[in-house]
Amino acid sequence: MSKFVDERIYTLKAGQVPVFLKLYVEEGMEVQVRILGRMVGYYFTDIGPLNQIVHMWGYDSLDDRYERRKLLQAAPEWQSYAAKMRPLVTHVENKILVPAPFFAVK
């Protein structure tokens, strides 16, 4: 179980969810999963605020998160993907979630 979950929400330009997901699968997912490790979830909104991508990554510590994200940002294949992805995004939110003491992932 991860001690910390990094929740990231990307709000996209209207109608760009399919474009974003296709680009991610083709160019971003492999490097992100390889470097960050524990994908907790990857979703898009269907009701409520639309045009959002919500993804979560598990880490053993905040230092673990920092080191993995630093490696991701330095990876040439991630930089190439990010240059294509960023124009689709209008807003980014980021939260660190800590599990409640009674919660255990099974």
pTM of the model: 0.91
- Token pair recorded at residue 61: 């510590």
Q: Which two tokens stand for residue 62?
A: 């905040």
pLDDT tens-digit series, residues 33-81: 999 999 999 999 999 999 999 999 999 999 999 999 999 999 999 999 9
pLDDT class for 106, splitting at 50, 70, 90? low
Task: Give the end-to-end CA distance of the chain in Å, rounded to a whole number.
Answer: 8
Tell me which CATH code domain 4-94 carries: 3.30.70.100
Q: What pLDDT, on the 0 to 100 scale, is given for residue 20?
A: 98
Residue pair 8/96 in contact by the 8 Å Cβ criterion: no
Inter-residue contact 61 to 98 (CB < 8 Å) = no
| pLDDT of the residue at 101 | 87
Across all residues in the chain, what is the average pLDDT? 95
24-to-42, 60, 96, 100 alpha-carbon distances in Å: 11, 25, 22, 31
- Statement: residue 5 has pLDDT above 60: yes
Taking each helix axis from N to C end, the angle separating 62-74 and 76-85, rounded to the nearest 10 degrees, works out to 80
